[in-house]
Amino acid sequence: MESEVFIEQIIVYGVVFIICAITIFFYTRKKRVKSEVVEKKVNIAKEEGLFEPVSLYPHIDLKSCIGSAACVADCPEKDILGIVDGVATVINTANCIGHGACFHACPVEAISLRIGTESRGVDLPHVNQNFETNTKGIYIAGELGGMGLIKNSVEQGQQAIENIVKSKKPSKPNVIDVLIVGAGPAGISATLAAKKHGLTSVTLEQDSLGGTVYTFPRSKIVMTSPMDLPLYGKAKLYDTSKDELLQLWKKVIADQEIKITENTKVEQIIPIENDTFKVITLMGDEYICNHILLAIGRRGSPRKLNVPGEEATKVAYRLLEPERIQKKNILVVGGGDSAIETVLLLKENNDAILSYRSDKFSRLKPKNREKIEAAIEDKSLKVIFNSTLVSIHDDYVLLKTETATTPEKIPNDLVYIFAGGELPTGFLEKSGVNISKRFGYVMKRHD
């Protein structure tokens, strides 16, 4: 009798063991399959030049990572992070927009936000935890300091003003408390915060309200999560377009009766007596202020190709109101996301051509890559790879390709050039702000 019970127990244990073994087998196999999928994505990202970061990105401490995948789940972007062999890995790092959701989601703090890699440095100004530079009285917030996401920039603009309030100098006649350079996300937030805290301020923008955001195509989605605006409160923004965001900013600024001076570029910042500054614009206007907040982008001015005819009025470096451009012969120069988005918008109602100096695209956002490849496939857009713009004329352009012995003459009404931007390094250095190349620099989020 006892032997029968023993045998039954052996059978039960055996069945339980087999069930556990099968469960573990299929669980391990499922994880391995998922891991292989991520590995393939990483290899593709490396081939397409998307594995290396170009701005702020998550750095994973493999010794601390427990593979919870919380970072993957909380990232609103697609294929930025994945799990390989039980630990997290970056995939299309070049597409990361630096919102920091993964940083907050990690239960063991295995993720830090960094800019620049060990092999490729990034020029950054010196800014302390209060957003103040090495030059006392000059502050930096937003993209120039490394935080490019709109929500982060808005938060930093407000926080920088709060730090200025703490160190506010006594008011003097004809001296502004704070002069804000730039009316992008950080600059607008700072302007509102300055009024909230009773500071006198002037905001100067070299282009138009919205800064870089203003130059985005009208339909571009720019916000995916809520943000707090001074004097307004929480703005519930999900899948918000550029136009919707600009309208919100304009409404808040109008309601608060705030003036922002557009199309005014700051040329020089000069420290003067009594720890104040003289700010001189390109047009020669002068302002005296106690503090300065630089809320400009990392690309101070668009990079030019320096080809004959580039000074013509038909040449532009950003696309505004694309729906008003109809039945034109257009050449778009560049191979980045801005160039792709521009030419895809223009091709619908115009004869648009894309010229790119390389033989294939790299570091494109997935959706842009899909759309441009589809346009090439269905022949709705002509793309000329390995081509260089030689000169620009009244009704045509000359384009040189590697295979042609002479430049090709192409009918043309408009030229859009997207060759990146030039860092405002010279402007910052003349203002006394130290800049150095950072390799794998850990960004402090100030929040």
At 256-296, the pLDDT tens digits run: 999 999 889 899 999 998 889 999 998 999 999 999 999 98
Amino acid at 90: V
Q: Are residues 186 and 87 in the same domain?
A: no
Question: Given CA atoms 87, 93, 96, 98 in this order, what sign does their dihedral have?
Answer: positive
Percentage of residues in the chain having pLDDT higher than 70: 89
In a domain, 370, yes or no: yes
- pLDDT, tens only, 41-90: 988 888 777 788 877 788 999 999 999 999 998 887 788 999 998 899 99
Verify that 223 and 316 share a domain, yes or no. no
**In a domain? residue 446:** no
Confidence of residue 30 (pLDDT cuts 50, 70, 90): confident
d(C-alpha 96, C-alpha 112), whole Å: 14
Chain center to CA of 251:
24
Q: Residue 386 pLDDT > 90, yes or no?
A: yes
Q: Supply the pLDDT for residue 446.
A: 44
> Does residue 447 lie in a domain region?
no
Which residue reads 């938060």 in tokens? 155
Residues 141 and 279 in one domain: yes
**Considering the entire predicted model, what is its pTM?**
0.67
Is the separation of the CB atoms in 353 and 376 below 8 Å?
A: no
What is the distance between the alpha carbons of residues 403 and 321, in angstroms, rounded to a whole number? 36
pLDDT at 214: 58
Sequence-separated (6 or more) residues with CB below 8 Å from residue 332: 339, 342, 343, 346, 352, 353, 354, 355, 415, 416, 418
Contact 146, 153 (CB under 8 A): no
Residues 254 and 367 in one domain: no
> Helix (H, G, I), strand (E, B), or coil: what is residue 440?
coil
Question: Rounded to an integer, what distance in angstroms lies between the CA atom of residue 129 and that of residue 348?
Answer: 47
Q: How far apart are CA 365 and CA 77, in angstroms?
A: 10
Q: Is residue 146 part of a domain?
A: yes
The string of pLDDT tens digits covering residues 299-344 is: 666 788 999 999 898 998 888 778 889 999 999 999 998 899 999 9
Percent of residues, the chain, with pLDDT higher than 90: 41
**277, 288 Cβ separation under 8 angstroms:** yes
Q: Which residue has the tokens 């730039």?
A: 182
Q: In this predicted model, which residue has the larger pLDDT, 407 or 113?
A: 407
Please determine, for residue 25, whether its predicted confidence score (pLDDT) is greater than 90: no
Pairing, β 276-281 against β 286-294? antiparallel
Would you state the pLDDT for residue 332?
A: 97
Structure tokens at 234: 């929480």
Residue ending a domain, among 95, 115, 135, is 115
Token readout for 258 is 């705030």
Q: pLDDT by residue (tens digit) across 167-217?
A: 877 878 889 999 999 988 889 999 999 999 999 999 999 887 776 665 555
φ, ψ of residue 89 in degrees (nearest 5): -145, 155
Tokens of 280: 């001189």
Do 130 and 248 share a structural domain? yes
User: How many Å apart are CA 235 and CA 227, to the nearest integer?
Assistant: 5
Answer whether residue 316 is part of any domain.
yes
Coil, helix or strand at residue 269: strand
Q: HSE of 367 in the Cβ direction (CA atoms, 13 Å)? A: 7
Residue that the structure tokens 């010279």 belong to: 426
pLDDT digits (tens, 9 = 90+) for 203-250: 999 887 776 665 555 555 554 566 778 888 777 666 666 677 788 888
For the chain, give the longest Cα–Cα distance.
106
Q: Provide the token pair at 421.
A: 């931007």
CA atoms within 13 A on the CB side of 187: 30
Total number of domains in the chain: 3
Structure token digits, residue 90: 């970056």
pLDDT for residue 442 is more than 80:
no
SS3 177: strand
The answer to which of 7-11, 33-37, 155-159, 352-356 has the lowest mean pLDDT is 7-11
Query: What CATH number is attached to the domain comprising 203?
Result: 3.50.50.60
Kindly report the average pLDDT of the chain as a whole number: 85
Q: Are residues 108 and 250 in the same domain?
A: no
Output the pLDDT for position 339: 94
Which helix (H) or strand (E) covers residue 194, if one does? helix 185-196
**Run of H or E including 290:** strand 286-294
**Full residue range of the structural domain in which residue 312 is found:** 303-421
Judge whether 189 lies within some domain. Answer: yes
Give the model's confidence band at 447: pLDDT under 50 very low, under 70 low, under 90 confident, else very high.
very low
Question: 137 falls in which pLDDT band (50, 70, 90)?
Answer: very high
Q: Of 115, 137, 172, which residue sits at a domain end?
A: 115
- Give the pLDDT of residue 329: 97
Task: Read off the tokens for 34.
Answer: 């998922």
Instruction: Judge contact between 245 and 190, C-beta under 8 A.
Output: no
Name the token pair of 125.
């100004």
Please give the C-alpha separations between residue 343 and each of 211, 338, 393, in angstroms, as whole numbers: 21, 9, 20
Question: CA 55: distance to chain centroid?
Answer: 7
Domain CATH code at residue 48? 3.30.70.20
76-99: buried (b, 16+ CB within 10 Å) or exposed (e) per residue?
Answer: ebebbbbbbeebbbbbbbbbbbbb
- For residue 383, give both structure tokens: 């793309």
Task: For residue 382, name the pLDDT band (cuts at 50, 70, 90).
Answer: very high
Where among 82, 115, 148 does a domain terminate?
Answer: 115
Amino acid identity of residue 410, one-letter, is I
Residues 373 and 344 in one domain: yes
Question: Would the pLDDT of 422 be above 90?
Answer: no
Same domain, 294 and 331: no
277 shares a domain with 142: yes
pLDDT > 90? residue 423: no
pLDDT-based confidence at residue 108 (cuts at 50, 70, 90): very high
The answer on 292 and 249 residing in a single domain is yes
133 in Cβ contact with 291 (< 8 Å): no
Query: In angstroms, rounded to a whole number, what is the distance separating the alpha carbons of residues 406 and 426?
Result: 38
pLDDT score at 116: 78
Do 151 and 215 fall within a single domain?
yes
Do 147 and 260 lie in one domain? The reply is yes
**SS3 assignment, position 300:** coil
Q: Could you tell me if 241 and 150 are in contact, meaning their C-beta atoms sit under 8 angstroms apart?
A: no
Residue 391 in any domain: the answer is yes
Asked if residue 357 belongs to a domain, the reply is yes
pLDDT at residue 139 greater than cutoff 90: yes
pLDDT greater than 80 at residue 160: yes
Asked if residue 91 lies in contact with residue 79, where contact means CB atoms within 8 angstroms, the answer is yes
Tell me what pLDDT residue 212 has.
66
pLDDT at 74: 85
